Amino acid sequence: MSTSSPAHKMAVTFARILRGAGVDVPLDSVIVFVGALSHVGLENRDDVYWAAYSTLIRRHEDTPIFDRVFAIFWEQLIQVEQVEQIQETESVTLLVDSDDEQSDETNADAIDDENTITLRFSSIETLRDKDFAAYSESELREAEQFMTSLRLAGPPKRSLRLQQSNRSGGRQDIRRTMRAALQNDREPIERFWREPSTRLRRLVVLLDVSGSMEPYARALLRFMHAAVVGRQRVEAFTLGTRLTRITKELANRDPDRALARTSAQVSDWSGGTRLGECLQNFNDNWGVGGMARGAIFVILSDGWDRGDPQALAAQMARLKRVAFRVIWVNPLKVSPDYAPLARGMAAAMPYIDDFVEGHSLEALRELTEVISRESNSLRKAASHA
């Protein structure tokens, strides 16, 4: 194939965009992609998609980024009927939206070039599927802005407090009924009702800060901060060689101050993990007696534990009996060949309602959906009603 052919130029350009979006695309893959395009042509979208995907993508976690780049580049910017119009002098610029005015001026200069094909991504869009372990400090700050937009509502909890109701069949409101009767010659013409009110369920989040979780703990701690300041009734703890309550420290709306205070409060960063002992401490002093009762319980941990797995299983069973739902978030679950073989993870699995990933912003967004839906038992009850 000629190096000046439209297919060659588009293949090289597309590979360059994928690299700019964070996907590792080696040169030999680009060469194979060029050869594949020479056979399938550029007329059929599906043929081009699978030719690109099968030759350029080596990791399953890069698929969402690939899909978005493909849709923008091949369908919106480089239409097949425009291929013949592409000139040798054209170049591709990947622009990332930013709040920085200086960056905006630089982007504007790039756009002024009439021979430049420009793709624009928001900074969050490029980070959405990136693994937290590969984040820089500046990327963590950008990611926290996205975390603050997440809504951690959860299904409401039935309260003992009663409220006025427009539906009959609940508890009769004798006081309102009699008050209305006094205005109608003591005839109870209209009856009033009350029903239990609802309130937000407590959300309890425990973060594993042991050495094996260090690549993810700094990002997940920012997620916990966003949850504490953005939602009522949130409790936050860290797990390591000891259990530490950090709700008060994370309540400061300034993320830098909140994280600094948390770092000073937690003394076992990057140490060992004794999940069973920490959960026993929680159950004995906070959980079973009140904090975990009817709450949504979220554990952020890879499951590696130096303690007795039987002790962890016993404490998970205690927690399961009183919590509304137990959710375990494991950043390692994203790996296609992952299996919960770690002793702690295997011991906890029978008592977990939802086992989800936690390695990226997209995974945290999916976690918010899990938190917001009803428990499995309630869904089954509703289906049989």
| Burial zone of 194 (CB within 10 Å; 0-12 exposed, 13-18 middle, 19+ buried) | middle
DSSP 351: G
- Tens of pLDDT along 310-345? 999 999 999 999 999 999 999 999 888 888 888 889
Proportion of the chain above pLDDT 90, given as a percent: 33
Q: What's this model's pTM, rounded to 2 decimal places? A: 0.63
- Predicted confidence at residue 29, as pLDDT, reads 83
DSSP readout, 43-90?
A: S-HHHHHHHHHHHH---GGGHHHHHHHHIIIIIIIS-GGGGGG--TT-
Q: pLDDT averaged over the chain?
A: 79
Count the Cβ atoms, other than its own, within 10 Å of residue 281.
Answer: 18
Q: Closest Cα to residue 218, out of 252, 258, 276?
A: 258
Helix, strand, coil fractions of the chain, as percent rounded to 5: 55, 15, 30
Average pLDDT estimate for 265-293:
89
- Predicted confidence at residue 313, as pLDDT, reads 95
pLDDT band at 276 (very low <50, low <70, confident <90, very high): very high
Distance CA(374)–CA(253), nearest Å, equals 29
- Tens of pLDDT along 99-147? 444 444 444 444 444 444 455 455 666 788 889 998 988 888 888 888 8
pLDDT band at 152 (very low <50, low <70, confident <90, very high): confident
- Predicted confidence at residue 87, as pLDDT, reads 42
DSSP readout, 325-343?
A: EEEEE-GGGGSTT----SH
Lowest mean pLDDT among 134-148, 161-175, 196-210: 161-175
pLDDT band at 182 (very low <50, low <70, confident <90, very high): confident
Top-confidence residue, 73 or 68: 68
Residue whose tokens read 């698929």: 63
